[in-house]
Each structure stands twice: as C-alpha cells, then as structure tokens.
Structure 1
C-alpha cells in the first residue's frame, strides 16, 4: 500500500492484542450492524424498568448516612465582580453569546475571558496551562462562570465550540472542592459527578479532556473512569468499587453496573447530559429518566445539546431547576467558517474516481510545498463501501484508515489514533463518526454519499472548521439526491438572508421533513405523467407508459441534467 501505511485491521498481531484486551470476555460486544454498536446494545435496550427496585432512589437516600455534600460559594476575581451591566452586555455581544436567567438580574453570570479571573483551583489552572489553553472560547467564557455559580444550565452551542471543556473544568473544580471539604472518596462510595453521553466515542473524548484538565491534580483529590459498552466489565467494576469522583458513561452501561451493585448514585450531586438530543434519538430516554430519578436532590444538572427539539425542552423543563440558558453562535446551522460546495457526478463509480483524483491532487500539492497532506474525513453510506474506498485510496498512495461498525473497538481506537497522530491523512467513515468526534486540524470533509436528512449533514460538516479554524466541505450528488440537495440549498439561502434557525430539529422536525419528502416525490411523479408538445399543449400520460417519456427539448439537445441540477443551480456553485 502507498506510503507503507498499514490500516489497523490488517495488523494481525496488534488487532488480536487489542481485541483480547478490550473484549472483556465478550461483555459489551459490538453489534454487527452499521450503527457501529453505538446505539443501545442488546443489554442496554433491555427493559430496565423491571430492575428499578434495585436502583437507589432519591427518596430512599434520605435515610442513608452517606448524604450528598454541597460546596462552598465560588467567587471570581474582583475585576469581574466590578464589571458594569453595560460592560457585560458589550462582552456578550462581542463574544456572540447569550445567557438567559429566570431571575431578572444576570450580571452575576458575567463572561470571563481569562482563566486567571475564574479563580479556579491551582492544580486545575496548572492542568489548563499544560493542555495549551491560553484563553477561554465564547462558550467557556460564558458557561464556566454560570456552572461555577451552582446554577443548572441548558446549553446550546454549535459544533466545535469547546463545549466539553466548558463543563469539564467547573465539574473538576466542584469535585475537588468536595474532596477537600469532606475527604477523599473511599472504596464503596459512589461518584460525585456523572457525565452521560450517547456514544462510546464521545464518552472517550470527554474522558480524555477530563483527564487532561486534571492531570496536575493529586489522585487522592480527583479520579475519573469511563463506563461504556465494548470494554471489559471487570475493569470497570474494579474502578467503580474502588471509588472515583467522576464517571463518564453511556446510560445503558452505567445502569448495568448499578443493577450489579458495582456503584451507586447516593453521592451524585453534579450531573451532565451531553448531546441530549442524540441520546433521545438513540432510544436512551428510559435509562436517562431512571438515572435522573435515582440521583438525590439538591443536585446541579447541566444539559447540553447541539440542537433544541421539543423533546429536549420537555426533559429540561421537568428535571432542571431554574436553568440558565447559555447559547453561543448559530445553533443547528452549518458553521460559518466552512466553505461548502456541491459537485454533480453521474453515478457511484464516478464518485470514487473523482474522490481519488481530488485527494491525490491535494496530497501532491501539499507535498510540493513541503507540507503534510491535509486531514480529511470521507463519509460513506455503508461499511463495505468504506472498506472499498479506503483500499483504493491506499493503493493510490494516500494513507487511509476506515472507521465503521464492522471494526472491533481496538481497531477503531487504533484508526482514530493513526488519524490524530498523522500516520494517515484520510479517515473513511460511516455516520458512526458524524457526532462527538473532536479531532483537531481536520481541513476537509467529503460527503461521498449525502446523508438522508439535513441535520445529519450539519453534524458531518461540523467535523471541520472547529475552534475558530476554517475548513471545507465537498458533497458529491446524483439525481437521486435531488431532495436533500434542495433542502441544503434552501437552508443556506435562508441563513444568508439572516434566518439563523431555518431548520427545526428533533423527532418532530424529522417527521415533517419525511412528510415533505413524500409530498415532493408525489409531485415529481405527477409532473412526470405530463409532457409538453412542441406547440405548447400538455398531454397526460398513463403511469404504465411513463418510462417512454422523452421531451422534445431533451431529445434534440441530449440534455442529461436532472432534477438535482434544478434544485441546486450551477454545478460550480460554491458556498
């Protein structure tokens, strides 16, 4: 293969090693569908209601001696405390952030644009510096002070905004303050903080950042562990029983451990729901509710979501207490610093040819200028296609790894590690990577196969243009993609005209989109049953003769333009 790169799944010894170390004797094995095992596993989909009696509820906890603790009041620097209302409003306008509180005065939630002014624990400040963070991003500048103040938060921020650090840093500060005030977590104690995420990949990203921001902290003050499917239950059981301050988990696997008495929620007073919209989409609603109902009150609850569909608002309304709504940038809209283009190709074979030509040219141009090839993610519809595309690119000398549901956990982690370390410049993925991955430096996203809905398109292109960087998104399309192409174009036009929320999201919105697609197909079908004569008359044609329809204009010119061209415009349109 070109460049000597060997994909993880072809490294026989490494693959065997990874599989044996991560399989845990078959516990949490991957599903063999293209969801990549990211949805609820068979165990996670089981009816947890029958086990509810084995989960400690908040009411039961009132009789226990191991009750939750509350931390001391946090205060920012004097400089922040002395900010005027007009100064705070100016800062929010400049940062493009909103902080809406049910209380009339929101001055106590002033954005803080330096980590020093946040007055964080000294070891956390050292960890932030070691991690290379110079100044907070807008979501961090506004979100961290709100969370440190002890308020519940309903956060909505565009992809790549630095949201994970916005809740991880104050969460660590909270846990450390509890440890300092009441002593280190002991064996048998449940966690102080819980972070729930929809996928193991996102959970791994959160755990990685949490460990980075706590690297300088004494382990007696703060420990974290990850609890997800696809990894050994035994190792997770050991960490949980020994006692940790923070657990990052997928909902189903956490409940499995609770039912096995490996941990408890009696001390949990800080709860984060990350990508709440995605968790609800994936069928975790019952597990989320069981965890929420089992954690004692008072607690601090943070709910973050890239989109804000009605079901997320209902969840927030029931379980958050007077939440401060923190919103940054344009939510659920293509990132403004991603240049988007669409290219029409006649068929799937032409897609592969065009992709290879484009990525080979980009590699050659970069090498000619003494640079490394640009990091690119290519999205395809099926895992078999991901393999074919990766093999072809490797044969052309473009080092490529694949990421999909047919890979073991070890192989997937190895592929991501190769990509992030620059051992390969291209990652071919199914939608298993569309959410949650935060890989720095991705310059180009290619939709070799367009997704089925606009929301997935948004999350795909959000892999680039992150944290203030610029990026590109290229999408190939054929006539069969006419509907999604028309949706993308209309959304971009509305966004350009100032409608930042052109598309609603969530189950209800997707149902409406399906209905619109059904109506669109029926309209096209009706249009195809009519043809215009040379004299301008309209002739209706029976359904059984539709395949024989050829308009005179097309017959004369040989014009092969399809409906997608009409929906999009010029083949050369570039956004």
Structure 2
C-alpha cells in the first residue's frame, strides 16, 4: 500500500500546491486510515484541478486530511464555487443543460423579431462592405439572434445558436465569420483560412451558397466565395472562402480524389486551413442519421487542434512529446486551453522556463458553431447536453421564444380518419381565402414519400395545381420545385419532412399537416415554415385518433403560450411513457411538479 501511495504522490507532484512529503518510520507508522485519508485528499485535489472548484464532500476530505500526521506541504485551498464559464448575453439565457424543461408561458415581448431600433449591422462590428451589401438587399436592421450572436462570434468564441425557425440564424453566423474572413484577406496573411458549413441535405447547402453569393459589393460581385462540394460537385481549383457540404459528401471528397484539386482538399490541408466550423441544423447532424461521420470529423479536427497547440508549447518550453505524455491529464487540458501560460499556471515545472519578458503564443484556435431551431438538453443523451460536455467553453445564445409557436401563427385543428382525410384535405385547401384570391403559398406535409404521392394523386383529381418534393423525385425536379416556391408569390407543394429543416421559402401563408408530426420537434420544424421574419401565417393540423395524446399536449401549450420542449421525446417514447404512467409527464419532472406548474 505504501508503494502505491508513493507512486501516486510522484504523479501528483506536478499539480499546483501538491508537493507531498510521503514518509514512513517506526516512530510514525503509516496506518491504513492515513492511506485512506491521503487517497481522499488526492481525489479531492484532482477534482479541484479538473473542475476549478471543490465539491462539498471533497472539501470535507481535504479538511479531514489536514488533521492527519501525513499532510501535503501545501494544502490550503479555497472551497469556492467555480466562476461561470458561459457569459450571459442581454435578454438571452445560459444553457439549461440537464435541467427541467421550461413550462411557464413566454412573455409577448420575447417573440419580437427585430433588434432595437437603433441597432445596425455596422454597430455590431460587421464589416462595412457586408453592411452595405445587406442595405442594398433591403436588410438594414438585424434580428434579435443576429444582434446577440455577432459580438460573441467576432471574438472567435465557440457558440451554440439556438433560436426559433425563421429568426435569421444563417446570417447570424455567416456575417461574423464573413467579417473575420474579409479582415484576414485585408491583412494579406501568409495563409488563407476558410470556413466550413455542414448541412444535413443538399437543398440547404445550395441555399447557404446562394445566401453568401447574394452579399455583393459595389461592383456587383460577391464579397465572399462559397462552393457546395461533393462527388458530383468536385472542389474548385481556387479554394472558396466558405465550403458548404453534407457530412457524407465532405468525407468522400477528403478521403477520395480531393487531393487532385489542391492541398486544401486533403485531410491534412483541411485540418490546417479550415478555421471556422459550423453545424447548421446541429441537432439533426448529431442525431442517429449523421452522428458517425460528423463525430469522426469533429474528433479529427479537435485532435489536430490539440497537436497544433502542443507543437507551439513544445517549442516555447523546450519539452518534447515523450515528457508531455507522462503528465497528468489535468495538465494536458491546461495546455490545450491556455498554451504555455496555462500549463505553467497549472503547476508544470518547465526544464527551461521562459524568461519574464518572453512572448508566448498566440496559439491555434478553431471556432466551432452549432446552430439549430431545436436544441434538447434535458437528459445526458440529448444533443444539447452532448455539445455542452464536448465544448464546455461554448457560449449559448438563445432567444426566449426558442421551442415556442410564433404568436403571429394561427392554428386550426382537424380530426380525420382514413375515409374523411382526402375530402377534408381538399376542403382545407380550397376553403383558404388566400387560395381563392390566387395568392396562397402552401406547404402540405405528409409522413413519407408514398403518402406524398397519394396526396398528389388526390389533388390532381380535384383539379388543384401543385408540385411534389421528396427524396424519390429526381434532383432536377426537386430543385425546380423549390425555386418556383421561392421565386413566385403563390403555389402549393406537397412534401415530406425533407422540406421542414432549414429551407427558407419566403412568405409561406399556410402549412397543412396532412399527416400529423410524429413528435414535438418535427412539429416545430413544420410549423416554422410559416410566420417567418415576423410575418403572419396559419397552420392546419389534421390528426387521427392515435395522434390525440400528443395533439392535446401541444394544443394546450400553444394556446397558453408555453414552450413545447416539455413534450420533446425520442422516437416512440412519448406514447410508450403515456401508456406506462397513464398520463403525460415531461422528461425531467415528476407528476406533482408538472401539475403545479400548469395551474
């Protein structure tokens, strides 16, 4: 036991304030209780080093150990709570990771779309050329989420942008990142750096490229270049400022023939030159369908981040990889986060310490941004919780209207069955005053491609002109349908949830759920296609008897202006939990607490 203790003490000597006197003699025998005391102390000190504060039980371990005959020579630690690592943004909340879902109604003021009247893009620090480009496009006033995100992103910080659909999240990250890329060009740095935007589908990728190219200078040319890449769209020989791709498409390029188009398109070049990483629709990209390629990419980039910081530190402190690997993980983390100053502050004794006037740094830093309209963060398995664990320094920027239905959207609920469904659908479309006036822009959501085609056949027979959008339709037809809906003032499109994520079709007047959404998250994304940018809209939700439990919860929450996150569930867990408990109880809450909060 004494041998183990001595080895443990030798490891912890590198920690701050942990220079140990580990002795044993006949006059002062080392009893098992003393070993247990030291072990408790070591565990407490390790917790303090990793987390920046001592847990109350850890404080008790240190206090108890300080009264033993075996004591560290420096054992005075302040047991104070750690300072918050996530700063607050005005009228925006810190991440509610692993906490109860919000239940209380949201104030009407929280649903405003635009920032304060006096706020402009230039006042937020956006590059003047980009501000002028926005003015030429008719955008002179930022949205609330754009106002909150710009100062954070312009500092190069990691960020989570969580805001309701149609709130302007795309420009919220494109404008600050574009500003940094333009300023880097003006400095004529030796290396050109790039940004990557990952999206779950090609339609969203193409939409982001179009948004970047719409930001034009006085000469009518785009201020920034962007390219959507995959095996069908090979990389351009001139590297774009902003790379847009799906996870699978990017992996195929980097591991395939990408090197033929330049060093940037190799794994090594990509890791060293792409400085900004954005996951648009982050909750979907980190979900089951995409998690493997996305996790592989993020792990590779974060490993490269660590290697680049280590290389600089090795040079500054005169150490090598062999010595570094023998250090405790707490010192590794201090190095990765703070470079040489962070490593020295954590208690590392460099063989050749730098002089007082030595200039240390700057160190490589890659920016990670996660944007989404739904960000579950109640349980450990939720996407928001996983992001918080992997990127604890990320700032969370969220509006109070997150996970709510917009107040300017009117809801109508219609129960149907298999016999009445077709007739009711036609009646809803033809009974719409906007359709009768010839100016309706309507999206009809179905549960899958088969029901989309069935709805299309029904509308054809009823003489309702429309388009169809789903994955089984040819790419050319899908692109044409989206362009027609985006560029014309009216139209009807039958679609699956492929059109519910991120795709911006302006001025949608009516969303019809021909098949009710299977869960609250999909429901929010569907209804988010209308009422965008502060405009009015309406939603007609057709539901069947097996949808009633979810419909009742969502309908009550919407009517009472409550966030819908309490109804979030994974797959079929909503109905399963309802059957098991006999009534609806949100995740993270007990029945009595939920009932009291709903009064």
Q: Same fold (TM over 0.5)?
A: yes
Paired residues of 2:554 and 2:564 also in contact (CA < 8 A):
no
396 and 100 in structure 1: CA distance in 2 versus 1, 3 angstrom threshold: closer
Residue of structure 2 aligned with 1:236, choices 220, 234, 237: 234
* Residue in 1 that maps onto 2:540: 474
Cα deviation digits, residues 504-550 of structure 1 (max 9, x gap): 6464xx56424324437999xxxxxxxxxxxxxxxxxxxxxxxxxxx
Inter-partner Cα distance in structure 2 for 1:92 and 1:161: 17
Paired residues of 2:212 and 2:222 also in contact (CA < 8 A):
no
Bigger CA radius of gyration:
2
* Residue in 2 that maps onto 1:157: 163
Find out whether 1:304 has 2:304 as its counterpart: no
How far did 1:305 drift?
A: 2.4
Inter-partner Cα distance in structure 2 for 1:386 and 1:377: 12
Inter-partner Cα distance in structure 1 for 2:222 and 2:503: 30
Paired residues of 1:360 and 1:396 also in contact (CA < 8 A):
no
201 and 115 in structure 1: CA distance in 2 versus 1, 3 angstrom threshold: same
Cα deviation digits, residues 471-514 of structure 1 (max 9, x gap): 11111123232233233234336x44xx536526464xx56424
Residue of structure 1 aligned with 2:133, choices 124, 127, 135: 127
314 and 358 in structure 1: CA distance in 2 versus 1, 3 angstrom threshold: closer
Three-state SS of the structure 2 residue aligned to 1:265 is: helix
Q: Which structure's relative contact order is higher, taking Cα pairs within 8 Å and 6+ residues apart?
A: 1
How far did 1:337 drift?
A: 2.1
121 and 331 in structure 1: CA distance in 2 versus 1, 3 angstrom threshold: closer
Cα deviation digits, residues 426-469 of structure 1 (max 9, x gap): 11111111211211100111111112212211111111111111
* Residue in 2 that maps onto 1:417: 483
How far did 1:341 drift?
A: 1.5
* Residue in 1 that maps onto 2:197: 195
Q: Runs of 5+ in structure 2 lacking a partner? A: 1-87, 97-114, 260-264, 306-363, 585-599
Q: RMSD over aligned Cα, in angstroms?
A: 3.2
Inter-partner Cα distance in structure 1 for 2:394 and 2:414: 44
How far did 1:404 drift?
A: 1.0
Inter-partner Cα distance in structure 1 for 2:563 and 2:435: 36
Paired residues of 2:122 and 2:128 also in contact (CA < 8 A):
no
How far did 1:214 drift?
A: 4.8
Residue of structure 2 aligned with 1:140, choices 123, 130, 146: 146
349 and 514 in structure 1: CA distance in 2 versus 1, 3 angstrom threshold: closer
Paired residues of 1:306 and 1:332 also in contact (CA < 8 A):
yes
165 and 355 in structure 1: CA distance in 2 versus 1, 3 angstrom threshold: same
Find out whether 1:253 has 2:249 as its counterpart: yes
Paired residues of 2:163 and 2:373 also in contact (CA < 8 A):
yes
Q: Which moved more, 1:478-487 or 1:427-436?
A: 478-487
522 and 157 in structure 1: CA distance in 2 versus 1, 3 angstrom threshold: closer
Residue of structure 2 aligned with 1:519, choices 558, 561, 580: 580
* Residue in 2 that maps onto 1:342: 413
* Residue in 2 that maps onto 1:180: 186
355 and 299 in structure 1: CA distance in 2 versus 1, 3 angstrom threshold: same
How far did 1:243 drift?
A: 1.4
Paired residues of 2:124 and 2:147 also in contact (CA < 8 A):
no
Inter-partner Cα distance in structure 1 for 2:420 and 2:198: 42
Residue of structure 2 aligned with 1:207, choices 206, 209, 227: 209
Paired residues of 1:99 and 1:142 also in contact (CA < 8 A):
no
Paired residues of 2:520 and 2:568 also in contact (CA < 8 A):
no
- The alignment's TM-score, normalised by the length of structure 2, stands at 0.61
Inter-partner Cα distance in structure 1 for 2:222 and 2:485: 34
Inter-partner Cα distance in structure 2 for 1:373 and 1:424: 5
Q: Which moved more, 1:510-519 or 1:299-308?
A: 510-519
* Residue in 2 that maps onto 1:115: 121
299 and 382 in structure 1: CA distance in 2 versus 1, 3 angstrom threshold: closer
Paired residues of 1:403 and 1:415 also in contact (CA < 8 A):
yes
Paired residues of 2:445 and 2:514 also in contact (CA < 8 A):
yes
How far did 1:303 drift?
A: 1.3
375 and 267 in structure 1: CA distance in 2 versus 1, 3 angstrom threshold: same
289 and 219 in structure 1: CA distance in 2 versus 1, 3 angstrom threshold: farther
Three-state SS of the structure 1 residue aligned to 2:509 is: strand
Inter-partner Cα distance in structure 1 for 2:498 and 2:383: 22
Q: Runs of 5+ in structure 1 lacking a partner? A: 1-88, 102-109, 524-575
Inter-partner Cα distance in structure 1 for 2:157 and 2:373: 20
Paired residues of 1:124 and 1:216 also in contact (CA < 8 A):
no
Inter-partner Cα distance in structure 2 for 1:362 and 1:218: 41
361 and 342 in structure 1: CA distance in 2 versus 1, 3 angstrom threshold: closer
Residue of structure 2 aligned with 1:351, choices 414, 421, 428: 421
Inter-partner Cα distance in structure 2 for 1:483 and 1:520: 13
Cα deviation digits, residues 350-399 of structure 1 (max 9, x gap): 222122123223367643xxxx4211111112323323323443454433
Inter-partner Cα distance in structure 2 for 1:506 and 1:276: 17
Three-state SS of the structure 1 residue aligned to 2:530 is: coil
Q: Which moved more, 1:298-307 or 1:347-356?
A: 347-356
* Residue in 1 that maps onto 2:384: 313
Residue of structure 2 aligned with 1:500, choices 553, 558, 563: 563
217 and 136 in structure 1: CA distance in 2 versus 1, 3 angstrom threshold: farther
Alignment of 1:339-418 (within 5 A): 339-345=410-416, 347-362=417-432, 366-367=436-437, 372-418=438-484
259 and 100 in structure 1: CA distance in 2 versus 1, 3 angstrom threshold: same
131 and 522 in structure 1: CA distance in 2 versus 1, 3 angstrom threshold: closer
Paired residues of 1:307 and 1:505 also in contact (CA < 8 A):
no
Count of residues paired in the alignment: 404
463 and 365 in structure 1: CA distance in 2 versus 1, 3 angstrom threshold: closer
502 and 383 in structure 1: CA distance in 2 versus 1, 3 angstrom threshold: closer
How far did 1:251 drift?
A: 1.2
Inter-partner Cα distance in structure 2 for 1:362 and 1:450: 19
Inter-partner Cα distance in structure 1 for 2:546 and 2:225: 51
133 and 244 in structure 1: CA distance in 2 versus 1, 3 angstrom threshold: same
